[in-house]
Chain A
Amino acid sequence: MKNLHKIIISLGLVIGLGACADLEEKPIGVFAPETFFQTPKDVETAVLGAYGVIASENLFGRQFICALQFRGDMITIGNRATSAERIQMNDFNMDSDNGMIRRFWPQWFQAINAANSAEAGGISLDLPDNEINYLIAEARFVRAFSYFHLVRVFGDLPYINFPVTDPTSLKTISKTSEAEIYQGIIADLEFAKQWLPNKQKNDVRTRPSAGTAASYLASVYLTLGDYQKAYTEAKFVIDNKDLFGYALEANFENNFNANIADNLKETIFAFDFLGQISGSNGQNDDSLVPMLAVLNLTGGYGVSVPTQAVYDTWDARDYRKKVSFVDTLVVNGVKRPYKDFSTPRPHVGKWVKLPGNANAIGRYSDHNIADFRYAEVLMIAAEASAEINGPNAEAAGYLNQIRARARNWAGTQVDFPADVMPSMSKPEFIDLIIEDRRLEFAFEWKRWYDIKRRNLGEKVFLGPNSLEPQPTFDPSRDYLMPIPDSELRINPNLAPNNPGY
């Protein structure tokens, strides 16, 4: 009897312990998508997540913008001991397994997935338009922004505008045509223009406003060669510049000064990097400055360096040349001309000179890395107007606003560059605008898109006046980058890859 008692106690112990195990998981620090969206605040949290994805090493921190720099004729490889994938990106001889592409391609789609999730979350709340559409519009803007870059780089590609819950079902989709993707981009930007506020809270430029959406619409139409619509959108932004808070910065250099990056009237859209901090997965990690900085004297990587011709052909009277280059360095009190640089050429000065709170080589800087400045709206207006009406005073006026600003040599008025007069042929005038764009946006990631848009590749890489001769440039291949090989392996329906790869 006594034994039985003990057995029962033992069994009780067993069963008692068993009862506490329900095996349900209650994770901490992660959020379930099904239950996440309860209020507009949650939608906003999801939208903001996308910016962190873009403000990352793989996109605007380094890989994507550096790739665009290499593609253009303003920056080439300085230290040729750098990795082959960069050299191949620059020299137009990459294959479909290029490492830079393998990094930035997936990252763009993470941003797109974040935007799609936020959009769907916003719609799921089923609120009146005026309470939620400004957030849905923001999500759609991010999607449009991402696809606008992607479509210019890759041409036809998969277009996904819904949150992915069953990724396996997307394994066999085909590419969407460029034209269709542009339709999606335009629809998103139109919606964004309609519903986004004229100014974001605190007038930040790292979230889009209606003005941002209109500016990108102008750029989209310009890229498509629809100059009338490009003009209309650019004009809309210029006419409403006060409403949106846009103006040219008095000092050109302000645009590349991290210390005042949050307060620039000229910035239309930028990504905010916070100094000396790195998030996980490469978020908030920017290496633009060390990529550009001199290898031996500053500890930079000296990878992305202009050719000598870019420097030599630029009129020394142009204040923008001074801002754009580092041609001497003072190291330990000793002045070192660029002949002493490990790559003995002038290096890029934009961003590098004023990285704000950053580490010693300028990584983890405080820059807000801008993708769009008000100057570009003026340039688009000028180019579109000239394309529609030929050289005209209005178009010249837009250019001259930018030239006038360039004559402000850090507070001292100089007389270079002089205003332009519309008294020239249309092709000459258009060339002049493209050339002004080249200098104004030197080393920003505009030049490659201009070369592609204007079909200038043979001229600028193979022509007699090439700043950066690239004998392997092949116009039938190199206006598009290859979709990563790994994607085609998983989804053969994406084949064939872009021509030549």
Chain B
Amino acid sequence: MQKLLTSQKHGFLWVFMFMLLLSSGSLLAQNKLITGKVTSDSGETMPGVSILVKGSTLGTTTDIDGNYSISAGEGDVLVFSFIGMQTKEIAINSSNMYDVTLETDISQLDEVLVVGYGTTKKSDLTGSVSSVKAAELTAFPVANATQALQGRAAGVSVQSNNGDPGGSLKVRIRGGNSINASSDPLYVVDGFIGGTLPAPEDIQSIEVLKDASATAIYGSRGANGVIMVTTKRGKIGKAKVDFNTSYSSQEVINRIDMLNANQFLDYTREVIPNYVDNGADTDWQDQIFRAGGIQNYQVSVSGGSDVVNYYVSGSFFDQKGIILNSGFERYAITSNLNFKASDKISVGVNLLARRTGRDGVVTQEGSGGAGGAGVVGSALRFMPDLPVRNEDGTFTLASIGDPIDNPFAVATERQQETIGDLFQSNFYLNYDIVKNLSFKTTLGFRTDNNRTGTFVPTTLYAGANVGGDATIGASKNTDLISENYFTYNLDLNTKHKFNFVAGYSFQKSNDTDWSSGAQSFITNSVSFWNLQGGAVQKIPSSGFSETQIQSVFGRINYSFNDKYLFTVNARYDGSSNFSKNNKYAFFPSGAFAWNMKDEGFMKDVNFVSDFKWRVSYGLTGNQAIGPYQTLARFSNSYTIIDGVAVNAVRPTTVANDDLTWETTRQFDFGADMSFLNNRLNLTADYYRSVTSDLLFSVPLPTYTGYSSQLQNLGKVENKGIEFTLNTVNTTGALKWNTSFNISINRNKVLELPDGNDILYGSGPGHLIGLGQTQILRVGEPVGSFFGWVYDGVYQQGDDFLPGGGFEQVAGGEKFRDIDGEKDANGALTGNPNGALNADDRTVIGNGQAKFIWGLNNDFSFKGFDLNIFFQGSQGNQILSYSLLEIETLSGSNNSTTRALDRWTPTNTDTDVPKRTLQRSQRVSSHWVFDGSYVRLKNISLGYSLPSSILEKLSISKARFYVSAQNILTFTEYKGFDPEVNYNSGGGAASNRNLGLDYASYPNAKSYTIGLNVSF
């Protein structure tokens, strides 16, 4: 070892001396000072362009104004290079001044992509990776950069879980690979596994790792794909200041036509003849919706030298929600510093400090019973003949049905505030041990502190019952990560190139939380800040959990002649969450790519610029299990004896010592193609992934005392094809680029415990009796809707099917009898039995899209730029509990104008049943809608000042723009918005409950003006 190192050292010395000789050689050749200016083909000055005297190490970069000066002699060649631009060579002749224009490089092959524990050129890539650049992430203001991925990358689906400001998102890469565990992708921010994304303006690029070859290096956390986030760095050159700001005005995307007071009175008196008119005519949607807005500001300072570079950015995002009293704000500071401590050692640190604040209103309520209705739910249900306030100034309560508060009261009286403070830092040290061998160690730390306070004052029903209800809770989650790995490059005969990565990683996460509450206050004015003033103290709670993961990982890349590329990845993960019999897991993958264009037979095929085939296969995992889930448990049982709470426990969980991770096996076959001098780029992929050992809460017969046990049973499959097409349609003065991506995914349950259907409910709790409305069934997609087939309305003289709880009257709901006959053993035969019951339920739809797509067009002409971005989803269905609730025409709430077409003895040609109070709320095909949509996500027109004016103002860039988001949506769906996700947050619900709608905060449409300035 020592000897090898010594000889290497000598090698360095020789190279160094040789270079010195060379440079001194050129010094000898009568050098002169060459100056000039570098501009881009669009006329912008270009700072930071690297200029090298060819064949030497002499070089410089352009300054902030694009000017350079370098010493060179006649006959030398200057090489101008800049990422994203074609490299240009200029031969020095007698002139001393050379202005250079660099052309945009439309070939993406030299594009550098970030992958796990390293980077790769796109041409060397063997896996399936999509990349989204800064411009797309900041095309319009978003609270979270992930939101900006919607429609931008093939295979990536992004949906808001609820439309509220600062609300969470559902991100799926190539479908949901799990049923009960999270299918959320893994986020890696500048190498920090599970890191938090900074503001969108601070992100340089996002790479989405999709196939096993790319994700297996993240082992037991890679199964759902990996989103690699790279933040911006300073570039060599003078300090550069960027200032971006925008203002958006927002309004609700759509409204629902409800009955007005007169119509409501008719509708109600049909069944409650003595219903008393309350005299008002209130449009409750008018009462809760308002013009919202987003202000977004970001300023960054960046720059650097050979030794150090820096990027410091501050941003402020402030959204006023389109529903009264809702909003979100975010302050963030991002800082990236990199130092070259010596020739061999570089260190750096990434910092993110963020404060978020969220004022929430209740939407998507889990149960909207007495006092529980949320703002949107109540706006649809509440009686239009009631005013906002009674004569005595109190807020009106529902006049019939469950006592719910009016939506204005819910929006304005209830307080719900969440404040989050996040600090994330990631330090690295990179040590070039010897030539081609380097060692990198990182130490990351993150702490996320959140405090949520809620107060329900006595002006609301729920508060009045208890004299006001206040809760305050906090959580503190910390993450510590250390990653250490070696990278070694080896070239043999220039034909055989190897790259090795090997490392060790350790990560520890602590989650803690505590909360307390009180009721019965003297006044409503103290909100949740005076719990001690409550006459009734609620039971406080606290919790702690810890997870540790340690891993070794490695990768070998081998390329032969740059033509045949091989990659092998593996990770060996140990996790504390796993059961005692299965603490460690191994995840290997392999990939092969073939640059076919480099073959002789393709040489003369001129219209093909590049053609690469890729194939990969590998295993990745999903930790699936939460801390302590494998252990049997007694938990506290709240028992009162003699008027006081006593220590008591009850069995709550039964053990499974063999519980293990979920494994996804993914096969990917794809091609990267470029045609017509790289003006047309096409990437196509086919994949099939099967996740086995699915963690299941296997339903137990409840007579065991348990409702379920976690077991590794079952399989789910996702397969699909994806295409990404980028074209350069025109160049020159009018530039027109198009990018289009489409993802077709099919999700299917392959195996379930014992092959049995699993039924579960997903509806709001107060729609009592809906029962189990969804099904997991082999051969069907996850989250299929389960209910009766609606056959319209019974007419006079029809044969009414008998069945407990089913209507047998003209004007009643008519369902189809499809099953129920039983054989001698009591098993169903699949034949109708002439009666309706639970056996007549069937799969009536699912929320999985047939395909999703995005289409982006960028035009630029002189200083103008135009962007038109469409995004859509096709073939997904929606089960609307909202419409079920208000259009069943049974309950004691308002209805939509569809009720005007209800069945009456004189209006029989309709599928809307008659008004009644006797009808069960029942999930049927009546409430399943086509959720397909096409949406003009963004349209934006910008103008950049020409450099002639900029120079006078001594700024380098100034762009003004106007844009609009979500202003056009084409859909058949009758709810607020087809982008729905009720009851779909977190773990199991996020996979099983797709395409459900209930009382969601609707999305907004926006009109934006903005300014980008650099100087």
B627 x A51 contact (CB < 8 A): no
**In whole Å, how far is B589's beta carbon from the nearest beta carbon of chain A?**
23
A309 at the interface (CB under 8 A from B): no
A335 at the interface (CB under 8 A from B): no
B638 x A280 contact (CB < 8 A): yes
Binds A, one of B33-41, B305-313, B703-711, B905-913: B703-711
Docked pose: A50 CA to B636 CA in angstroms: 11
Chain B, range 496-535, C-beta contacts under 8 Å to A: 504, 506, 508, 519-520
A487 x B703 contact (CB < 8 A): yes
A330 at the interface (CB under 8 A from B): no
B536 x A276 contact (CB < 8 A): yes
Q: Tally A-B pairs: CB < 8 A.
A: 293
B550 x A299 contact (CB < 8 A): no
Given A49-B637, A204-B641, residue A21 in contact with residue B461 (CB < 8 A): no
B639 x A48 contact (CB < 8 A): yes
A29 x B574 contact (CB < 8 A): no
A7 x B433 contact (CB < 8 A): yes
B639 x A55 contact (CB < 8 A): yes
Report the nearest A residue to B802, measured CB to CB: A93
B641 x A36 contact (CB < 8 A): no
Docked pose: A489 CA to B632 CA in angstroms: 26
B29 at the interface (CB under 8 A from A): no
**In whole Å, how far is B431's beta carbon from the nearest beta carbon of chain A?**
7
Given A23-B583, A277-B539, residue A109 in contact with residue B704 (CB < 8 A): yes
Across the interface, which residues of A come within 8 angstroms of B543, CB to CB?
28-29
Q: Identify which of B546, B640, B767, B805 contacts A93 (C-beta below 8 A).
A: B805
A114 x B650 contact (CB < 8 A): yes
A272 x B838 contact (CB < 8 A): no
A168 x B709 contact (CB < 8 A): yes
B431 x A49 contact (CB < 8 A): no
Given A95-B804, A157-B703, residue A164 in contact with residue B647 (CB < 8 A): no
Binds A, one of B188-196, B407-415, B768-776: B768-776
Across the interface, which residues of A come within 8 angstroms of B759, CB to CB?
486, 489
**In whole Å, how far is A488's beta carbon from the nearest beta carbon of chain B?**
9
Report the nearest A residue to B583, measured CB to CB: A23
A272 x B640 contact (CB < 8 A): yes
Across the interface, which residues of A come within 8 angstroms of B639, CB to CB?
48-49, 51-52, 55, 283
A94 x B804 contact (CB < 8 A): yes
Given A32-B633, A113-B705, residue A95 in contact with residue B466 (CB < 8 A): no
Across the interface, which residues of A come within 8 angstroms of B441, CB to CB?
10, 13
A1 x B2 contact (CB < 8 A): yes
- Chain B 828-841, CB-CB to A under 8 Å as 1, else 0, gives 00000000011000
Chain A, range 163-219, C-beta contacts under 8 Å to B: 163-168, 170-171, 202, 204, 206-207
Docked pose: A489 CA to B433 CA in angstroms: 65
Docked pose: A14 CA to B700 CA in angstroms: 45
A94 x B805 contact (CB < 8 A): yes
B465 x A359 contact (CB < 8 A): yes
Report the nearest B residue to A169, measured CB to CB: B704
Across the interface, which residues of B come within 8 angstroms of A290, CB to CB?
370
- Chain B 392-433, CB-CB to A under 8 Å as 1, else 0, gives 000000001111000000000000000000000000000101
B838 x A97 contact (CB < 8 A): yes
- Chain A 474-501, CB-CB to B under 8 Å as 1, else 0, gives 0000000000111101111011100000
**In whole Å, how far is A487's beta carbon from the nearest beta carbon of chain B?**
5
Across the interface, which residues of B come within 8 angstroms of A84, CB to CB?
768-769, 805, 919-921
**In whole Å, how far is A111's beta carbon from the nearest beta carbon of chain B?**
8
Docked pose: A274 CA to B401 CA in angstroms: 29
Across the interface, which residues of A come within 8 angstroms of B804, CB to CB?
88, 93-95
A109 x B703 contact (CB < 8 A): yes
A334 at the interface (CB under 8 A from B): no
A441 at the interface (CB under 8 A from B): no
- Chain A 92-118, CB-CB to B under 8 Å as 1, else 0, gives 011111010010011001101110110
Contact residue range for chain A? 35 or more
Across the interface, which residues of A come within 8 angstroms of B769, CB to CB?
83-85, 99
B260 at the interface (CB under 8 A from A): no
**In whole Å, how far is B571's beta carbon from the nearest beta carbon of chain A?**
15
**In whole Å, how far is B577's beta carbon from the nearest beta carbon of chain A?**
8
Report the nearest A residue to B434, measured CB to CB: A3
A3 x B5 contact (CB < 8 A): yes
B649 x A49 contact (CB < 8 A): yes
B701 x A491 contact (CB < 8 A): yes
Across the interface, which residues of B come within 8 angstroms of A202, CB to CB?
642
Docked pose: A51 CA to B642 CA in angstroms: 12
**In whole Å, how far is B341's beta carbon from the nearest beta carbon of chain A?**
13
Q: Identify which of A6, A34, A83, A102 contacts B431 (C-beta below 8 A).
A: A6
Across the interface, which residues of B come within 8 angstroms of A273, CB to CB?
640
**In whole Å, how far is B517's beta carbon from the nearest beta carbon of chain A?**
11
Report the nearest A residue to B760, measured CB to CB: A486
A331 at the interface (CB under 8 A from B): no
Chain A, range 46-62, C-beta contacts under 8 Å to B: 46, 48-53, 55
Across the interface, which residues of A come within 8 angstroms of B467, CB to CB?
360
Q: Identify which of B1, B520, B654, B772 contacts A165 (C-beta below 8 A).
A: B654
A304 at the interface (CB under 8 A from B): no
A24 at the interface (CB under 8 A from B): yes
Given A53-B637, A114-B651, A359-B466, residue A83 in contact with residue B768 (CB < 8 A): yes
Docked pose: A207 CA to B646 CA in angstroms: 13
**In whole Å, how far is A155's beta carbon from the nearest beta carbon of chain B?**
14
Given A50-B650, A276-B536, residue A30 in contact with residue B635 (CB < 8 A): yes
B891 at the interface (CB under 8 A from A): yes
A262 at the interface (CB under 8 A from B): yes
A279 x B638 contact (CB < 8 A): yes
A347 at the interface (CB under 8 A from B): no
**In whole Å, how far is B757's beta carbon from the nearest beta carbon of chain A?**
7
Docked pose: A46 CA to B433 CA in angstroms: 62
**In whole Å, how far is B889's beta carbon from the nearest beta carbon of chain A?**
12
B138 at the interface (CB under 8 A from A): no
B827 at the interface (CB under 8 A from A): yes
B756 x A490 contact (CB < 8 A): yes
**In whole Å, how far is A369's beta carbon from the nearest beta carbon of chain B?**
11
Q: Identify which of A4, A97, A274 contacts B1 (C-beta below 8 A).
A: A4
Across the interface, which residues of B come within 8 angstroms of A241, CB to CB?
none
Given A13-B441, A32-B632, A495-B826, residue A361 in contact with residue B433 (CB < 8 A): no
B634 at the interface (CB under 8 A from A): yes
Docked pose: A157 CA to B641 CA in angstroms: 30
Chain A, range 10-69, C-beta contacts under 8 Å to B: 10, 13-14, 17-18, 20-21, 23-34, 36, 45-46, 48-53, 55
A301 at the interface (CB under 8 A from B): yes
Given A45-B647, A168-B709, A262-B643, residue A113 in contact with residue B576 (CB < 8 A): no
Docked pose: A102 CA to B370 CA in angstroms: 21
Docked pose: A32 CA to B628 CA in angstroms: 11
**In whole Å, how far is B45's beta carbon from the nearest beta carbon of chain A?**
43
B768 x A85 contact (CB < 8 A): yes
Report the nearest B residue to A357, measured CB to CB: B536
A160 at the interface (CB under 8 A from B): yes
**In whole Å, how far is B5's beta carbon from the nearest beta carbon of chain A?**
6
Q: 4 closest pairs, A vs B, by CB?
A: A113-B705, A279-B638, A83-B768, A52-B639
30 A–B contact pairs at CB < 8 A? A6-B431, A13-B441, A13-B484, A17-B482, A18-B550, A21-B506, A25-B546, A27-B628, A30-B628, A31-B635, A49-B637, A49-B649, A52-B637, A80-B917, A81-B401, A83-B769, A84-B769, A93-B804, A94-B804, A110-B650, A114-B637, A114-B705, A164-B654, A165-B654, A167-B700, A277-B536, A361-B465, A486-B699, A490-B699, A495-B825
| Beyond known contacts A14-B504, A48-B647, A51-B639: 4 more, CB 8 A cutoff | A23-B576, A25-B631, A274-B644, A280-B638
Interface set of A (CB-CB < 8 Å, partner B): 1, 3-4, 6-7, 10, 13-14, 17-18, 20-21, 23-34, 36, 45-46, 48-53, 55, 80-88, 93-97, 99, 102, 105-106, 109-110, 112-114, 116-117, 157-158, 160, 163-168, 170-171, 202, 204, 206-207, 262, 272-274, 276-280, 283-284, 290, 295, 299, 301, 359-361, 363, 484-487, 489-492, 494-496
